[in-house]
């Protein structure tokens, strides 16, 4: 029921929605299952979808075996929320079928992130972007999609948005150290296999990445653009502008360098900020200690700062190395080092938090 002056509940037809996971066998799909279980998401039903390769396989969930079905356009009957994590081309091909069947699509791929009218949401940053109007649940409205931002963008924004809201961030220079899991289950298997092969003195097998990954690092594997940036770097720039602009901010200057490192899980980011108004490192530490979704590991005495292992399987993004940037006037620049589990907060958890907002 909608009372005057209140935003109507997005999914007012049920408090226990039936959820479909598209890409249920993948790195993100498997994390969806853990997050839904751990957060006691009020499931009315659960449907698991993947390619024909996985059809008929079973997955254990809350003590039951669930059979994986092949994704088709007919897969969405009775689905209230469709959590897509099977790549952009699959989202583009099947999202409309899900919407036509009455579902709200929460999409992990880059398929619709920059589409006008599709909210791009980090629940701790811009939950207000989700309204029934802009996800198109009103009469005759489309498209019914909410996009999950790129994982590196989510991790950065958890740490930087509180500072931006407090004093304004004029410029961001970010360098990433990205884990294998960001490229999916097959990339994780490749890193494991190559590590074993190299230790055994064998030639490493390169299937997912064109060059040796174990005991190496390289520029992010996303397509390179004519301007010398790769797609991952440009996602961090454009998605941040979209997310912050939804809250009425001006455009911050952002440049990114994204690198794949031989870490199994959780991305790290070195972030340099130029501020509009001064903020001391003491105030920044205090602000981030209270920020939602953020935990501090910032122990200079013991040289103990966030690591990908701290962040692995954790909900929060970990922040440390909070310090005044010596190259800028006192209080006008900050450096941070951030680690976050990109399969979890960078994908599955963020999408489930969006689904929870739909029920709120
Ligand atoms: N990994 C991350 O950290 C991360 C973070 C943010 C966003 N994302 C995005 O999430 C999506 C999934 O990533 P991932 O890392 O989970 O990849 P992944 O481990 O490679 O899993 C891909 C999933 O998609 C399914 N799939 C592939 N082709 C299909 C088809 N034709 N029909 C139906 N299902 C199909 C696969 O099913 P089969 O097993 O049957 O092949 C599998 O379940 C991508 O869009 C990615 O960009 C990933």
Over residues 17-30, the pLDDT tens digits come to 999 999 999 999 99
What is the C-alpha separation between 10 and 135, in angstroms, rounded? 8
Using the predicted structure, report yes or no on whether residue 3 has a pLDDT greater than 80: no
Q: How do residues 205-243 score in pLDDT, each as one tens digit?
A: 999 999 999 999 999 999 999 999 999 999 999 999 999
339 noted as active-site residue: no
The pLDDT value recorded for residue 2 is 31
CB atoms within 10 A of CB 47: 20
Atom of ligand 1 nearest to the CA of 86: 24
Q: How confident is the model at residue 74 (pLDDT cuts 50, 70, 90)?
A: very high
Using the predicted structure, report yes or no on whether residue 250 has a pLDDT greater than 80: no
Q: Which residues line ligand 1 (CB under 6 A)?
A: 23-29, 50-51, 53-54, 71, 85-88, 90, 108-109, 151, 181-182, 184-186, 342-343, 346-347
- On average, the pLDDT of the chain sits at 93
Q: How do residues 111-158 score in pLDDT, each as one tens digit?
A: 999 999 899 999 999 999 998 777 887 777 767 999 999 999 999 999
The pLDDT value recorded for residue 247 is 58
40 noted as active-site residue: no
Number of H helices, E strands in the chain: 8, 15
For a mutational test of ligand 1's pocket, the pick from 22, 24, 28, i.e. the residue with the most ligand atoms closer than 8 A to its C-beta, is 28
Pull the structure tokens for residue 41.
């998401």
Task: List Cα–Cα distances, 102 to 76, 108, 242, in angstroms.
Answer: 8, 19, 27
The pLDDT value recorded for residue 143 is 76
Place of tokens 């489309």: 142
Q: What domains are there in the chain, each with its CATH number?
A: 18-148+347-359 (3.40.50.720), 152-342 (3.30.360.10)
Using the predicted structure, report yes or no on whether residue 346 has a pLDDT greater than 60: yes
Pull the structure tokens for residue 12.
């007012």
Using the predicted structure, report yes or no on whether residue 246 has a pLDDT greater than 70: no
The pLDDT value recorded for residue 360 is 78
How far is the centre of ligand 1, averaged over its atoms, from the C-alpha of 87 (Å)?
5
**In sequence order, which residues have a C-beta less than 8 Å from that of residue 99 and are 6 or more positions away?**
105, 142, 143, 144, 145
What does pTM read for this prediction?
0.94
Q: How far is CA 63 from the centre of its chain?
A: 28
What is the C-alpha separation between 233 and 231, in angstroms, rounded? 5
Q: What angle do CA 253, 334, 162 make, to 5 degrees?
A: 75
**In sequence order, which residues have a C-beta less than 8 Å from that of residue 179 and are 6 or more positions away?**
261, 263, 264, 265, 266, 267, 308, 342
Q: How do residues 264-275 score in pLDDT, each as one tens digit?
A: 999 999 999 999
Using the predicted structure, report yes or no on whether residue 9 has a pLDDT greater than 70: no
Report which of 122, 125, 123, 181 is spatially closest to residue 149, judged by C-alpha positions: 122
What is the C-alpha separation between 159 and 317, in angstroms, rounded? 7
């Amino acid at each position: 029921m909608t009372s005057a002056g209140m935003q109507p509940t997005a999914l007012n037809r049920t408090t226990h929605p039936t959820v479909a996971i598209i890409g249920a066998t993948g790195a993100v799909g498997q994390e969806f299952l853990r997050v839904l279980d751990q957060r006691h998401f009020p499931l009315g039903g659960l449907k698991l979808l993947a390619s024909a390769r996985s059809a008929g396989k079973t997955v254990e969930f809350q003590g039951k075996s669930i059979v994986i079905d092949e994704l088709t356009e007919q897969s969405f009957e009775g689905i209230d929320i469709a959590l897509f994590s099977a790549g952009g081309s699959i989202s583009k091909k099947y999202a409309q079928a899900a919407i036509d069947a009455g579902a709200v699509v929460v999409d992990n791929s880059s398929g619709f992130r920059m589409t006008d009218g599709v909210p791009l949401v980090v629940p701790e940053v811009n939950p207000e972007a989700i309204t029934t109007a802009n996800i198109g649940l009103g009469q005759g409205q489309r498209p019914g999609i909410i996009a999950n931002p790129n994982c590196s963008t989510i991790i950065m924004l958890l740490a930087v948005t509180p500072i931006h809201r407090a004093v304004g961030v004029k410029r961001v220079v970010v360098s990433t150290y990205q884990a294998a899991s960001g490229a999916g289950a097959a990339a994780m298997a490749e890193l494991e296999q190559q590590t074993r092969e190299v230790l055994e003195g064998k030639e490493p097998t390169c299937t997912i990445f064109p060059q040796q990954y174990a005991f190496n690092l390289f520029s992010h594997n996303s397509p390179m653009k004519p301007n010398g940036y790769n797609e991952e770097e440009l996602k961090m720039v454009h998605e941040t502008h979209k997310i912050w602009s939804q809250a009425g901010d001006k455009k911050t200057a952002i440049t990114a360098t994204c690198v794949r490192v031989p870490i199994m899980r959780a991305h790290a980011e070195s972030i340099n900020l130029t501020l509009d108004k001064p903020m001391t490192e003491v105030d920044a530490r205090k602000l981030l200690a209270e920020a939602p979704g953020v935990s501090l590991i910032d122990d200079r005495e013991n040289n103990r700062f966030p690591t990908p292992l701290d962040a692995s399987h954790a909900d929060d993004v970990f922040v440390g190395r909070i310090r005044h940037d010596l190259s800028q006037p006192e209080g006008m620049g900050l450096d941070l080092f951030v680690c976050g589990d990109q399969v979890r907060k960078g994908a599955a958890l963020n999408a489930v938090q969006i689904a929870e907002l739909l029920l709120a």
